[in-house]
Amino acid sequence: MWAFLRKRVRKREAHGMFAEFVSAEGLQALESALEKRSDGVPPLKMEAVSYLIFQVRGDSPDVMQRHLAQAFEIIMDNDCLIENIMSSIAVATFRTKVATYEQLLEALHTRLGPNIRVVHGRGEYPRGIFGSQRRLSYGTIFPDITSKLETLFAMEFGTSREI
């Protein structure tokens, strides 16, 4: 495929994947990064985001997968972006009002009960495009992710905590 056509296709794919979840500025930065051929990527910008870091449990891989699927449905129905998944742990970010945020937590605990634990909060974090030119990713970088995960692992399933 010709280089100019390949760039246009990649730009259209990126727009289709991220337009619903990313600010207009973030989407423009992603599209312009796809057009350029360089070793650098645009700098990350500090953005205020709400986040959920959660873990589901299950007695078997099938049960764990079912619990993850239920959590993802609830999260995506509330206009959240699932940024990272690692086994039974996932990170979701969103911009929302407090009432919707509380409804989201209530929905997760109502549907999954003692099979989910959640740490959540809001803050300003570096967000944008990161990675290499061959493998760009868009997301949020949590410099304090270790402490957030330690808090999550110390909690009982069926609970949530703001940090």
**What's the confidence (pLDDT) of residue 136?**
77
**What's the confidence (pLDDT) of residue 101?**
77
**What's the confidence (pLDDT) of residue 162?**
93
Q: What is the pTM of this model?
A: 0.72
What's the angle, vertex CA 76, arms to CA 72 and CA 82, rounded to 5?
A: 70
Residue spans of the chain under pLDDT 70: 1-8, 15, 33-41, 96-99, 133-134
**What's the confidence (pLDDT) of residue 68?**
95
**What's the confidence (pLDDT) of residue 118?**
97
**What's the confidence (pLDDT) of residue 37?**
57
**Which phi and psi angles does 101 have, rounded to 5°?**
-60, -45
Cα–Cα distance between 16 and 22 in angstroms, integer? Answer: 11
**What's the confidence (pLDDT) of residue 52?**
93
Give which of 93, 97, 95, 106 is closest to 138, Cα–Cα: 93
**What's the confidence (pLDDT) of residue 20?**
74
**What's the confidence (pLDDT) of residue 129?**
83
**What's the confidence (pLDDT) of residue 34?**
67
Give which of 86, 88, 155, 87 is closest to 120, Cα–Cα: 155
**What's the confidence (pLDDT) of residue 96?**
63
**What's the confidence (pLDDT) of residue 80?**
86
- The dihedral of CA 73, 79, 83, 89: what is its sign? negative
**What's the confidence (pLDDT) of residue 26?**
77
The answer to whether 33 and 136 have CB atoms below 8 angstroms apart is yes
